[in-house]
Amino acid sequence: MISTNDLKTGLTVEIDGDVYQVIEFQHVKPGKGAAFVRSKIRNMRTGAVVEKTFNAGEKLPRARIERREMQYLYNDGKNYNFMDMESYDQIQLTDEALGDAVKYLKENMNIEVLMFQGKHIGVEIPNFVELEVVETAPGIKGDTASGGSKPATLETGAQVQVPFFINVGDVLQIDTRTGNYIKRA
């Protein structure tokens, strides 16, 4: 059990049988009345963000999240197949379980699969990935790095905005948290 006075960003707690991660918190001590903790928490299963207020000193059960390193193997049409790097067991996850991570998955990529009470609740992919451009408008002589942007389709099917000088076949570094182009690799 953890006290609401000890909440910090990134901490995982269990509320009503679901796992939540603390995004923001603020201790409030009004001039009149008891102190309380105002927080924003994210449901680890659904991704929904909820604002919740707790009494100061209230006890919450801490959620023990197990992280397993797994390698993405292939997509069989409806499921994504992963292999545990320790036991070599294979699991299948759906589009819904992966969320936005689907846009950045490449074969043989290592990711962290999050598990709670033996069930898969999500994945964490690297913050930056390198992906090849498979489709974009051709660059034109005189285009500059700061002159604007155009859409590009990456090898995984993700769409990103890139500078005009990027061409088909270029390998780009992409920030998976924001989906933005960072630089050419």
Report pLDDT digits (tens) over 149-182: 889 999 988 999 988 888 899 999 999 888 889 9
Q: Considering the chain, what is the average pLDDT of its residues?
A: 86
Q: What is the pLDDT of residues 23-44, one digit of tens each?
A: 899 998 988 888 999 999 988 8
Same domain, 83 and 101: yes
The predicted pLDDT at position 146 comes to 56
Helices first, then strands: H and E counts in the chain: 1, 16
Same domain, 156 and 171: yes
Question: What's the CATH code of the domain at 167?
Answer: 2.40.50.140
Same domain, 56 and 91: no
Same domain, 33 and 78: no
Question: Model's pTM, two decimal places?
Answer: 0.70
Same domain, 25 and 46: yes
Domain boundaries, position 164: 129-184
Question: Can you state the percent helix, strand and coil of the chain, rounding each to 5?
Answer: 5, 50, 40
